[in-house]
Chain A
């Protein structure tokens, strides 16, 4: 066992050279590469953390937006429901008003038709009644209806007493003796003579009655002086007929309403 001091020195130099070489070719580069990798990983981790945070923020924002939308949707739905309900009520109200209006119009129309019908019925009835009465009188007693009507009117005129009679005479005098006798049908000359005689007898000889025929007004004979009127006709009979027909109409309409109510 011996130590070669030249070799020892050479080996010391060799070792120091090796230390220097490895420091520059091994430890330095490897350590730096690892540090770079570590830095890069830290950067990536930080970046990932940042992105994660960003994603979480976005998630929260999205969630809030979603909730906002949900609330907005609910509010819009509620408003839409309220509006629809309001619209429904308005339409219903409008429909009811329309129905009521139409019903009123219909009832008014019905009433008018009914009135027209009754008026027409009255006119036709008057004519028919007149024709029937004339024929019945002629058949039964060979009597003239117009004369009978004139007789009825004269009896009515004669039955006036006291103040009523005086008022009538006064009105006739105020009209300068002009008075008008209306009849629905043209009176015969006999009937006119009888009536004129009765007027002269009851109200005054100076009076000059004029005879007129007219479709409207009394169904018999009517004396008109100023504002006063004396008449005889079939009104009471026709009123009875009209009343009976009206009662029949009322009964029918009551029945219809009760059926409609059911």
Chain B
């Protein structure tokens, strides 16, 4: 039994491997981009708009509101990264109900890739916000001895992010596979529906946690800056 789509190899040339994870990722990407392109090609900025535009606006506005709630900042800068995380994971997980579709999020490689992206995005946003020195100073707070623990904290946080998503999606797929072999009727369908719910929840959790990490890094720096500026002025 293949528990990860990485093992389904469709084409291989030396070290370059085209497995199911990459192919299904492209399918999800194509679906998202084509849908977005089709809808935004006929965008309307008056009171009347198409249903699809209305749906996309609701999605975008909800994500912006969520980001604003978490970061308490203007969501425009974080929306492409965090919003794409949510849309990609949610779409992959929802498409899992289609027979034969292997969700890319069920691959530890994909979730590790996404977690690595978050791992890199946190310092990128923090440095863009407060500068490199301010970001690095955070690792020796409150003392220099905390440096290893802070580094371990960053790594474990990224690992947890990757494994949580992988485990949930992979387990959903595995449970359904096992149940199909034991109880072939009805029960797997209920589990599939349940999988839809958990898939969306996981997408939400992943995006929100990424936002929380980014926000905590940028806010702590800006908070320190604010405190320092107020101390200098007094």
Contact = CB atoms under 8 A, between A and B. Distances in A.
A30 B110 contact: no
The winner among A5, A7, A9, A34 for most chain B CB atoms within 10 A is: A7
Interface stretch (A19-27, A143-151, A245-253): A19-27
Interface residues of A, number: 33
Given A3-B109, A31-B60, A15 B19 contact: no
A26 to B, nearest CB: 4
B110 A27 contact: no
A30 to B, nearest CB: 5
Contacts of B79: 27, 31
B80 A23 contact: yes
Interface stretch (B82-90, B146-154, B191-199): B82-90
A15 B17 contact: no
Contact of B32 (A4, A18, A33, A40): A18
Interface residues of B, number: 45
Contacts of A4: 6, 17, 19, 21, 109
A37 B29 contact: no
Given A7-B6, A12-B116, A34-B61, A19 B107 contact: no
Given A2-B6, A11-B25, A11-B104, A29 B61 contact: no
A175 interface: no
B200 to A, nearest CB: 18
A40 B45 contact: yes
Interface of A: 1-12, 14-23, 25-27, 29-31, 33-34, 36-37, 40
15 contacts: A2-B6, A4-B21, A5-B109, A11-B113, A14-B26, A14-B113, A17-B29, A21-B36, A22-B87, A23-B84, A26-B40, A26-B56, A26-B60, A27-B83, A37-B47
